[in-house]
Homo-oligomer: A and B are copies of this chain.
């Protein structure tokens, strides 16, 4: 994700609490990542979910218009509907304009300074 262009670009911050209902969730999540990656203006995605079921997915886009087009995608709509009926207890979605970005990476290999 350090390969994103220089800001400005846009982020969709999707914070969700999973239910205990599986019902194809993993396949859907994988499919949405794959599908999003093929959309115009897609720049990248980052995702994490903890053991408590709270997850954050941030997808990055060139423009608000690209985000709106992805929002209207038929298969994405179906996933959204199933999200509401089965997978999520609650979620929040935020659209934000990224104004600054800074990446840092460890230079040397060893992760343990005592090693």
- What residues make up the interface of A, taking CB atoms closer than 8 Å to B? 1-2, 7, 11, 13, 15, 19-21, 46-51, 54-56, 58, 64, 84-86, 88-106, 111-113
Contacts and interface: CB of A to CB of B under 8 A. Distances in A.
> Taking the full assembly, how many copies of this chain does it contain?
2
B15 A13 contact: no
The 6 closest A-B pairs by CB, nearest first: A96-B96, A19-B111, A90-B105, A56-B56, A48-B48, A95-B100
Contacts of A15: 1, 46, 58
B85 A113 contact: yes
Contacts of A102: 92-94
Contacts of A7: 94
